Amino acid sequence: MHTISKYIIGFLLAFFCINVVYAQQEAMYSQYMFNTLAINPAYAGSRNVVSATALYRNQWVGIEGAPSTQTISFDGATSNKKVGLGFQVFNDEIGISKTTGAFASYAYRIRMDKGTLAFGLQAGAALYTANFSRVALNPTGAPDVSFAQDVRTVQPNFGAGVYYNSDKFYLGVSVPQMLGNTLNNNTNISSSRLIARQYTHLFIAAGYVFDINKDIKIKPSVLFKGVQGAPLQLDINSNVWFFDIFSIGLQYRTEADIAAMTEIQLNSQIRFGYAYDRSTTRLADFNSGSHEFMLRYEFGSAKSKLLSPRYF
């Protein structure tokens, strides 16, 4: 590994693990519009079919210890379409730290003239571990007590969201994790030192499908992300659909990345998506980009004719 890469990872560890964190803490996805349950529990059941979605993201390829995220989610609506249920498990790793958890979602859905309005709640917990003792320190220097003890803690949390969608439009507002869990350097309360804290994240997402003709559609979408102590971030996306079978698109994430995306409907039940991100900052000099893969399976779609294509 290049010397400069070691400095980058060292800086990340020092900033995110040793000091109090004021930054984006939720796992990041480029294909959030295909995996909305990860950021908004009110999305559960919005597609009116039982579906399973798997997503794998490998970020900043070429940098040792760079983020890696895996998630699997299931959601569907009850027979009367008034309730949506969802479940997701995830694993997020960066450097010496790993967060593995699961959340269950509930959405109450109200049918309106042209769409559905849903109010959602989610609850679950995550296991956070940080292997400080595995960090390679200067063998000739004095022991560093900050790296003497590993961290292992369970962090419960809950979140809420609102989601409106029709065949051609969606708008969602959510706070997926509301509890501000803290992380201390040991279990002795009298001598423990705060080294990290979770902060509330606000997500606002919207998208619309424009018909160019019967074979081509354009689907622009945006995602606003806000968290205390970090710059506001906006994802701006545009996908072009051809024959309701495949799409290509571009994404710009303010002060961070640009991405190229593609999606293909392999058959009535299986959809595949891929995104490639490239940093717009100096970090691009030290990695070959980020790769993200998405696979969705819809149970029972082959047995019933879909009234309209599902774009969200």
Give the CA radius of gyration of the chain.
21
pLDDT for position 177: 87
End-to-end Cα, the chain, rounded Å: 40
State how far the Cα of 112 lies from the Cα of 231, in Å rounded to an integer.
36
Instruction: Report residue 260 CA to chain centroid gap.
Output: 17
**Closest Cα to residue 297, out of 44, 76, 21?**
76
What amino acid occupies position 292?
E
Domain annotation for the chain: domains and CATH numbers: 3-303 (2.40.160.40)
Q: Compute how many other C-beta atoms are within 10 angstroms of the C-beta atom of residue 208.
A: 15
Beta bridge partners of 206: 171, 222
Q: For residue 24, what pLDDT is reported? A: 45
Confidence (pLDDT) at 296: 94
Give the torsion through C-alpha atoms of 60, 61, 65, 68, to 10 deg: 80
DSSP conformational letter for 300? T
Alpha-carbon dihedral sign for residues 269, 120, 23, 254: positive
3-state secondary structure of 87: strand
Are 275 and 15 a contacting pair, CB within 8 Å? no
Structure tokens at 179: 């509890």
pLDDT in tens, the chain (312 residues): 444 344 344 434 433 433 333 344 567 788 888 888 989 999 999 988 899 999 999 999 988 888 999 999 999 999 889 999 999 999 999 888 899 999 999 999 999 988 999 999 999 999 988 887 777 666 666 666 666 677 888 999 999 999 999 989 999 999 998 887 776 655 444 445 555 677 788 999 999 999 999 999 999 999 999 887 777 889 999 999 999 999 999 999 998 899 999 999 998 899 999 999 999 988 888 899 999 999 999 987 555 444 445 677
Rounded Cα distance between 35 and 31, Å, is 7
Strands (E), the chain: 50-58, 68-77, 83-94, 97-111, 116-130, 151-165, 169-175, 182-184, 194-197, 201-208, 210-211, 216-227, 233-242, 246-253, 257-265, 270-279, 290-299
